[in-house]
Amino acid sequence: MNLSEIATAIEQGFSRVGYVESIYNDDVYDIWNNSEIRYLSACWELESIETQNDVKAYNLIVYAADRLMENETNKVQCWDAAEQAIETMFNYITENGQSDNLYIEETRQYTPFTQKFADFLAGVYCRVKLKTSNEINLCT
């Protein structure tokens, strides 16, 4: 599975979450500082690619966030919805037949945040390593 296929699978996975209104692949600070964003919003970035013999690893950081109410009474609900959206996407790309050779290395750790962008948001982010076969180095 190459990066283009992973990007498509990520978008499809987030699209399956009924309350995710926008999905982006870019710098979260550039994306969420746009006042036109629809929430709950998901965003992911590629941090690095590692190759070792027959395995390729894509290191990603995935964000999801929703608009925080002024009194912050929905902060926990935003964190929960964001974590569930990301987890649903991961489950889709690794467990629902999207790839026979794609898996997530190690335990996923979600870090909650509240931050002012164009809107005041609450959400979570997760750094993850997706591993797949490095087809370039496979013998035929």
Note the pLDDT of residue 19: 96
Sign of CA dihedral 38, 104, 3, 110: positive
Note the pLDDT of residue 103: 83
24 phi/psi in degrees, rounded to 5:
-135, 155
Residue in 98, 113, 106 with CA at minimum distance from that of residue 128: 106
8 phi/psi in degrees, rounded to 5:
-65, -45
Split into its structural domains, the chain has a count of 1
Q: What is the pLDDT of residues 38-67, one digit of tens each?
A: 999 999 999 999 998 889 999 999 999 999
CA distances from 78 to 15, 42, 115, 123 (A): 18, 12, 12, 6
CB 84 within 8 A of CB 16: no
Q: What is the pLDDT of residues 66-115, one digit of tens each?
A: 999 999 999 999 999 999 999 999 998 888 655 667 888 878 899 999 99
Residue in 59, 57, 62 with CA at minimum distance from that of residue 131: 57
Task: For the chain, give the mean pLDDT.
Answer: 90
Spell out where the chain has E strands: 22-25, 41-52, 55-67, 103-105, 110-116, 120-133
Note the pLDDT of residue 138: 47
Residue in 16, 14, 70, 61 with CA at minimum distance from that of residue 42: 14
DSSP state of 101: S
CA distances from 133 to 20, 90, 93, 97, 138 (A): 30, 18, 15, 16, 8
pLDDT above 80: residue 125: yes
Note the pLDDT of residue 96: 63
Confidence of residue 29 (pLDDT cuts 50, 70, 90): very high
The CATH number given to whatever domain includes residue 85 is: 3.30.70.1700
Note the pLDDT of residue 97: 54
Confidence of residue 2 (pLDDT cuts 50, 70, 90): confident
Segments forming the whole domain that contains residue 112: 3-137
